[in-house]
Amino acid sequence: MRAVKLRKQDLPAFLKCVQSFGELWGPVREKDRQVLKKTDDVNQIDLTTIRTSLPFKKLLFPPRFSMFHFSGNKYTTSLEHLPNRIIFGLHPCDIHALLIMDDFFTRSFDDPYYTERRKKTAIIGFSCIPDEKCFCHATKTDTVEEGFDLFLTDLDDFFLIWVGSSLGDDMTRECPKIIDEGILPEDLKKYVEWRKYRNSQFKMDIDLTSMPEIFDLSYDSVIWEEEGEKCLSCGACTIVCPTCPCYHVYDKIEMGKIEGERMRQWDSCLFKEYSMVAEGHNFRESRAERLKLRFTHKLQAFVGEYGKPACVGCGRCIETCPVDIDIATIVRRLRGEEVKV
Ligand code: SF4
Ligand code: SF4
């Protein structure tokens, strides 16, 4: 993989330069949180961001959007005029989540509402130092080798940039005056030292080995009732999760008219209506059953289908849950470890 360098003070000029490839989106501080936002002012981008409150999925798979407008037996889709975008600042965990989403929306058939947006989206990843809610080393998503066009590692006085695609290559060649092609042995040494330092900074440790078997053995565990008792069914954990893709589809149509919009909207397996079928029967009536579904899907079912968990250890659900339901605590409890509940 080609690597180049960029001086620290040249980052704003570089981001301005790559704006010729599309709208620039990046983490911007708003009061006490960081949000992924379109910005023309590159100085607004907050490089200290660990996690944005909503992840990249809001751009590739918007919370609510019109799939097509229909009138009689004709329809027009909403896929024309999608903008080219650059998402700056995705950390390795989010890039792994992006790869999971890519797989999910293309494996059985191409979902054009996702893939058309994805084709027009460039990814510039950015290195991070984990905080107390990060556990991407446990999910093995703490480093990335694919899924980005460029990836910047902050090595104090300069950024080491990995070039991950031909589009990324074009971006670096667009800004020749500030991109330095000369990687020196001491630069690589600095990179290796930085990797060691970052590895030493993980504060949370969770053992995710044998989770499929542990879930099998814990199907009737009292833990689900106890944790479900606390859950508010607010769905916030699924809304913020970069690997939760569930949605529902409905028609927006006025009474007496034969035209309208087919809408797609994020859904959550924690909502009571999610598992409700005709005549009002609900397969997961209780909050405990719905909570169990979420964790079983993430750490057992997805492993069977896709060969890896559908959790990338980003810590968003831990940060967001209003009643402190914590994936790490649940895993530890299921493993029989002593935890303070
Ligand atoms: S389950 Fe929680 S920690 Fe895992 S990817 Fe989703 S939001 Fe992040
Ligand atoms: S955020 Fe917490 S309370 Fe809300 S649905 Fe998720 S687990 Fe339940």
The verdict on the CB of residue 175 being under 6 Å from ligand 2 is no
pLDDT confidence tier of residue 1, bands split at 50, 70 and 90: confident
- Res. 252: pLDDT tops 70: yes
Tokens 């849950």 belong to 321
Q: pLDDT digits over 25-50, tens only?
A: 999 999 889 999 999 899 999 999 99
Measure CA of the first residue to CA of the last residue in the chain; give whole Å. 46
CA distances from 96 to 93, 166, 175 (A): 5, 20, 28
Query: So what's the pLDDT on residue 207?
Result: 93
Residue nearest to atom 6 of ligand 2 (CA): 237
Task: Calculate ∠ Cα 211-92-189, nearest 5°.
Answer: 115
Query: So what's the pLDDT on residue 341?
Result: 63
Amino acid in the structure at residue 313? G
Residue nearest to atom 4 of ligand 2 (CA): 234
Share of the chain above pLDDT 90, in %: 88
Closest CA to 243 of 319, 322, 313, 190: 313
The verdict on the CB of residue 15 being under 6 Å from ligand 2 is no
Contacts of 18 (CB under 8 A, 6+ apart): 24, 86, 122, 124, 171, 174, 175
Q: pLDDT digits over 172-189, tens only?
A: 999 889 999 999 999 999
The verdict on the CB of residue 243 being under 6 Å from ligand 1 is yes
Q: pLDDT digits over 54-112, tens only?
A: 999 999 999 999 999 999 889 998 888 899 999 999 999 999 999 999 999 999 899 99
DSSP string, 234-254: --HHHHH-TT---EEEEEEE-
| Cα–Cα dist 48/35, whole Å | 12
Tokens 């919009």 belong to 261
- Backbone phi and psi for residue 172, each to the nearest 5 degrees, phi listed first: -70, -35
Tokens 């000029």 belong to 13
Query: Are the beta carbons of 41 and 88 closer than 8 angstroms?
Result: no
Average pLDDT rounded to a whole number, residues 142-159: 96
d(CA 314, ligand 1 centre) in Å: 5
Q: Which atom of ligand 2 is nearest to the CA of 227?
A: 7
Averaged pLDDT score across all residues of the chain: 94
Q: pLDDT digits over 273-287, tens only?
A: 999 998 889 999 999
Domain limits of the chain?
A: 3-53+80-199, 211-334
Q: Which atom of ligand 1 is nearest to the CA of 133?
A: 3
The verdict on the CB of residue 288 being under 6 Å from ligand 2 is no
- Res. 307: pLDDT tops 90: no
- Res. 339: pLDDT tops 90: no
d(CA 313, ligand 1 centre) in Å: 5
Average pLDDT rounded to a whole number, residues 284-307: 93
Amino acid in the structure at residue 152? L
Q: How far is CA 77 from the centre of its chain?
A: 26
